[in-house]
Copies of this chain bind each other. A is one copy, B any other.
Amino acid sequence: MAKVMELARVASQVILADGVYSMWIETKKIALEALPGQFISLYTKDNSKLLPRPISICEIDREKGLIRIVYRVLGGGTEEFSCYKEGDYIEILGPLGNGFSIEAGAAGKRAFIIGGGIGIPPMLELSKHLACEKQIILGYRDSIFLKEEFSPYGVTYVATEDGSEGTKGNVLDAVKEHGLSADVIFACGPTPMLKAIKAYAKENGIECYLSMEERMACGIGACLACVCKSSEVDDHSKVHNKRVCKDGPVFQAEEVDF
């Protein structure tokens, strides 16, 4: 799975919710190799910004050579991307990271697919690939996006912080409210959510995969910027520091030490 840097053409961009954008990108090579849970690095045209913006791959269309990203405008980088139109070009590096284990969601199992906020996008491509029974639980602060796109793949539950839709509260509140259970969990979202899910999985003895976030510089494992505390000694530096960009972003819950 060779990583490449491409000057890729923007195929389309639409706004999904306040500040949340969906962009399809034409790539020669990345779409061919990408796996659910992997991410790409995007680079700004503004040369005053040097570092990559890591964004998860939300969908992959191998035949057409397209990948989709869904992202929230947070600072100057995502702001710049949000102005791109069809036909503009963007520099991207990928595919990066390990991706989710598809085997862990083999037929016969019952899975929770949990996405929180801007952690929701990578769960869409994953949902297409898992053969198991999928219970999809999406947590939002307020405005809803991508929800309908999950419906073909499983029953979808929603939690919102303000209670404007679905369960008032977080994704685990939704699990409780609906009395759901599972054999395996796949989750991506804010750190407090992941921490709570790890505890929940442990309590209930459930296999659990978490996709982590950290500031990145190289995005390929060389600079040691993006480490997270790991319970085991890591392969690279032998110091309990796994690299989110290379050893992750997806980890088994027990690997990660919050």
Contacts and interface: CB of A to CB of B under 8 A. Distances in A.
A86 to B, nearest CB: 15
Interface in A23-59: 45-49
Contacts of A49: 47
A12 to B, nearest CB: 20
Interface residues of A, number: 5
A46 B45 CA distance: 7
A47 B49 CA distance: 8
Nearest to A49: B47
A193 to B, nearest CB: 34
A46 to B, nearest CB: 5
Contacts of A47: 46-49
Nearest to A45: B46
Contacts of A48: 46-48
Nearest to A47: B48
Nearest to A80: B45
Nearest to A46: B47
A46 B46 CA distance: 5
Contacts of A46: 45-48
A45 B46 CA distance: 7
A88 to B, nearest CB: 12
Interface string A91-119: 00000000000000000000000000000
A213 to B, nearest CB: 26
A49 B46 CA distance: 10
A49 B49 CA distance: 12
Interface string A4-28: 0000000000000000000000000
A187 B48 CA distance: 38
Contacts of A45: 46
Which 4 A-B pairs have CB atoms at the shortest separation, nearest pair first?
A: A47-B48, A48-B48, A46-B47, A46-B46
8 contacts: A45-B46, A46-B46, A46-B47, A46-B48, A47-B47, A47-B48, A47-B49, A48-B48
Given A47-B49, A48-B48, 6 more contacts: A45-B46, A46-B46, A46-B47, A46-B48, A47-B47, A47-B48
